[in-house]
Chain A
Amino acid sequence: MSLRNYIDKIKPNFEEGGKFYWLHSTFDAFETFLYVPDTTSKSGVHIHDARDSKRTMVIVIIALMPALLFGMYNVGFQHYLAIGQDVGFWTKFFYGLLSVLPQIVVSYVVGLGIEFAMAQMKHEEVSEGFLVTGILIPMILPVDTPLWMIAVATAFAVVFAKEVFGGTGYNIFNVALIARAFLFFSYPSKMSGDQVWVRTGSTFGMGKGTVVDGFSGATPLGQLATTDAHSFADFSFRGITGQPLTTSDMFFGFIPGSVGEVSTLAILLGAILLIATNVGSWKTMFSVFLGGLFTVTLVNLFAANAAMEMPANYHFLLGGFAFGAVFMATDPVTSARTETGKWIYGFLIGLIAVTIRIFNPGYPEGMMLSILFMNAFAPLIDFYVVDANIKKRLKRVEVKNREK
Chain B
Amino acid sequence: MALSNKTKAVLLGPLNKNNPIIVQVLGICSALAVTSKLEPALVMAIAVTIVTAFSNVIISMLRNTIPNRIRIIVQLVVVATLVTLVSEVLKAFAYDVNKQLSVFVGLIVTNCILMGRLEAFALGNGPWPSFLDGIGNGLGYGWILVVIGFVRELLGSGTLLGYPIIPKSFYEAGYQNNGLMMLAPMALLLIGVIIWIHRSQNKELQETA
Contact = CB atoms under 8 A, between A and B. Distances in A.
Contacts of A190: 176
Nearest to A160: B189
Contact of A186 (B181, B189, B192, B196): B181
A160 B192 CA distance: 10
Interface string B48-80: 000000000000000000000000000000000
A164 B178 contact: no
Contact of A182 (B176, B180, B192): B180
Interface string A302-334: 000000000000000000000000000000000
Which secondary structure dominates chain B's binding surface? helix
B174 interface: yes
Interface string A22-55: 0000000000000000000000000000000000
7 contacts: A148-B174, A160-B189, A185-B179, A185-B180, A186-B180, A187-B178, A189-B176
A164 B174 contact: no
B176 A187 contact: yes
Contacts of B183: 185
B179 to A, nearest CB: 5
A382 to B, nearest CB: 21
Contacts of B180: 182, 185-186
Nearest to A159: B193
B174 A186 contact: no
Given A186-B179, A187-B176, A189-B176, 12 more contacts: A148-B174, A148-B175, A160-B189, A164-B196, A185-B180, A185-B183, A186-B178, A186-B180, A186-B181, A187-B178, A187-B179, A190-B176
Contacts of A149: 176
Contacts of B189: 160
A146 interface: yes
Interface of B: 174-176, 178-181, 183, 189, 192, 196
A169 interface: no
Nearest to B155: A186
Contacts of A164: 192, 196
Given A160-B189, A164-B196, A188 B174 contact: no
Contacts of B178: 186-187
B157 to A, nearest CB: 13
Interface of A: 146, 148-149, 160, 164, 182, 185-190
Contacts of B176: 149, 187, 189-190
B196 to A, nearest CB: 7
B196 A188 contact: no
A188 B178 CA distance: 9
Contacts of B196: 164
B31 to A, nearest CB: 18
B174 A146 contact: yes
* Across the A-B interface, the 10 shortest Cβ-Cβ residue pairs: A186-B180, A185-B180, A186-B178, A186-B179, A187-B176, A146-B174, A188-B179, A185-B179, A182-B180, A185-B183
A164 B192 CA distance: 10
A149 B183 CA distance: 18
Nearest to A181: B180
B54 to A, nearest CB: 39
Nearest to A149: B176
Nearest to B185: A185
Nearest to B189: A160
A296 to B, nearest CB: 31
Contacts of B174: 146, 148
- Among B176, B183, B189, B196, the most chain A Cβ lie within 10 Å of the Cβ of B176
Contacts of A148: 174-175
A357 B175 CA distance: 30
Contacts of A187: 176, 178-179
A188 B176 CA distance: 10
A160 to B, nearest CB: 6
A298 to B, nearest CB: 32
Nearest to A188: B179
Nearest to A148: B174
A182 B178 CA distance: 9
B174 to A, nearest CB: 5
A303 B196 CA distance: 50
A87 to B, nearest CB: 28
A153 to B, nearest CB: 10
Contacts of A188: 179
A146 B5 CA distance: 55
A190 B178 CA distance: 11
Nearest to B193: A160
A186 B157 CA distance: 11
B7 to A, nearest CB: 38
A189 B180 CA distance: 12
A393 B114 CA distance: 52
Nearest to A146: B174
A160 B175 CA distance: 22
A361 B169 CA distance: 35
Contacts of A185: 179-180, 183
A149 B180 CA distance: 13
B143 to A, nearest CB: 23
Contacts of A182: 180
Contacts of B175: 148
